[in-house]
Chains A and B, each alone.
Chain A
Amino acid sequence: MLLEASIEEAGYPGGFKVRNIHLELDEGEVLLITGRSGSGKTTLIRAITNTIGIQGGFLHGEVYVKGRSIREYKPGELAKRLAYIPQEPWYGIIGYTVGSEFCYTQLVTSGVCDMRVLAEAGLNGREDFITYGLSAGQTQLLLWAEAMAAGAEVIVMDEPFVYLDEENRGRLLGFVGRMIREGRGLIIVDHNPSHWRSLNPRLIVLDKGVVVYDGDASGWSVEVPETTVKSKRKGRVAVEARDIWFKYPGYSWVLKGVSFTVEEGGLTVLVGGNGSGKTTLLKIVGGLLKPTRGRVTTRGRAIYIPENPLAYYSMPTPREELMYMARGDESRFLEAVELFDLRGILDSKLSNLSSGERRRLAIASAYLGGFDIYLLDEPTGGLDAYNVARVLEAVQRLLDEGKTVIAASHDSRLKGATDRIFLGGGGL
């Protein structure tokens, strides 16, 4: 037995809790945890990885890794047995170069640094490269390399597909297959269990902090809400990009001669692999970056909503943000609250909102700002089907009002929601 968890209760004082959860993970086994946003997946993972205390939480119960309580391990010892790869992989890095990050982790967990594993992750020759310049996919591969080099027997992955393009997904599945063959155990949190069906995992479904299904993955099905939008194209050009070239300092060209037009009143999805320049292109359209060569013309005012909308807001609560953007107009404020279904979160702190709530609020706020072109960066990344549908409802509201929406994403659900895709490969 690699891992055994008997959790009577784990969570945050006065806040959310998971209850009565019993898990076992054997050699070569895959345990898949799923559930809607807010169902307790992250809290459970924090309890298993012994990080819940860092977030001010508690664990009543025991988690054993290789028969020993996680509380008895020294930090480096536990990391050698159990590796945790977060959904946002860039948070899992402290080293400024690939080599320093990789070696620092190995020296803490194993006491030695063997760079050969980096080659298996496709990062050979990049030891001196700054980690800030890695794409999300490359960062995740670096964390994988660290987990493999440490010899971790239990790998915990939170939404591992969110930031990976098709090529890197294939690479990740290769790693997973190898882990299983080597007798390691995997705990995977994913809002979409179908990603892992071929591995025949044991599935645990959480809802409101308790297990509602525990069994074979093939025995569970989930109703997927409708996720399509209806564009109301007017035939007029909202955005025209001609021969756009762009490079960041110290890097090679990200965009090479990109040209496209976007009509008013539609949803256009920019699709491309990791590091292909989707976000860069959005920022160029919004005027946040100046192209090295080429020209962008827009009809109307544009707004950019980043992947983490915290950078977008101006006020500390949703109510204040919406009132601020409505310039104190109570009727417009109420209209946006109803239109984007935000009544339940108006007085929450922005930092306490879920990813989906943050994105819907930012769209509502921008709507009140009267913008014409909405540039959304990964608006559905990491969201379950239910929340994707709600974000797309918010997008639909914009389209109904005749607004233009351009989203950068490699989420296949978003691609499927529209009829206008701008596809790029090897640089857009």
Chain B
Amino acid sequence: MTENNILKDFFSKDEPRNGMTIFLTFLVAVVIYHASVFWFVLKDDIQSQFDLENYTIDFEENSFVYEDSRVVNDDERVTLEFSAPNEMFESHNGFGILFVDISYDETSGELQDRCDTVSVDLTPTGVSAVWGHENNVLSAMNSDCETMSLVLYVFPNYNGTSLSVAGNDKQFWVNEWMDSSHGQGVFELDVEVSVNNPPGSVLPTVSDSGEEVNVSWNAVFFDAIVE
């Protein structure tokens, strides 16, 4: 006759109960052991296992400067090229920012001859850089012989200032700031000169026909120091 309650069969007086009792006691003991280790012995370690480690990332900068100059004739457009040397990529974590300074003087030597108008444009090429960065200055123009400065942020999220980050490990953050693919290739700077004659001059001998433009390429490389 089948009992409706199986527990009566499991624990009936006719059946040996030692094995079952030992088994169930063992299960309960292990569960209690687990609970005590979890909530008492390893409690702090378990609860702090996902606490995030804080790191400060500082950048040590090294620049590579390359000077170039070119005589640009009136209404002429000239393209100057620059590429950072491989040794810089090999010896540093990354190429951070490219600064380009463009300077010129009025060289006609004529009295009251005004500075010529010079416009410069750092045109996007296939080089990996943050061409759309909000702080980039990719073009400029002036007619007062002042030095023009262009800026291109090359390494994503790099602006030269220290950072505080949390989580992961030291090596992870070093790897985050190590990538030689950014800035590899040829940058192109378009320079255009428009000659301005002295006011009231009608003599052809008083005007000049072009200008010498000096370009200083300053490639800022960095090494990330994670502490």
Do these two chains really belong together in a complex?
no
B-side residues, CB < 8 A to A, are none
A-side residues, CB < 8 A to B, are none
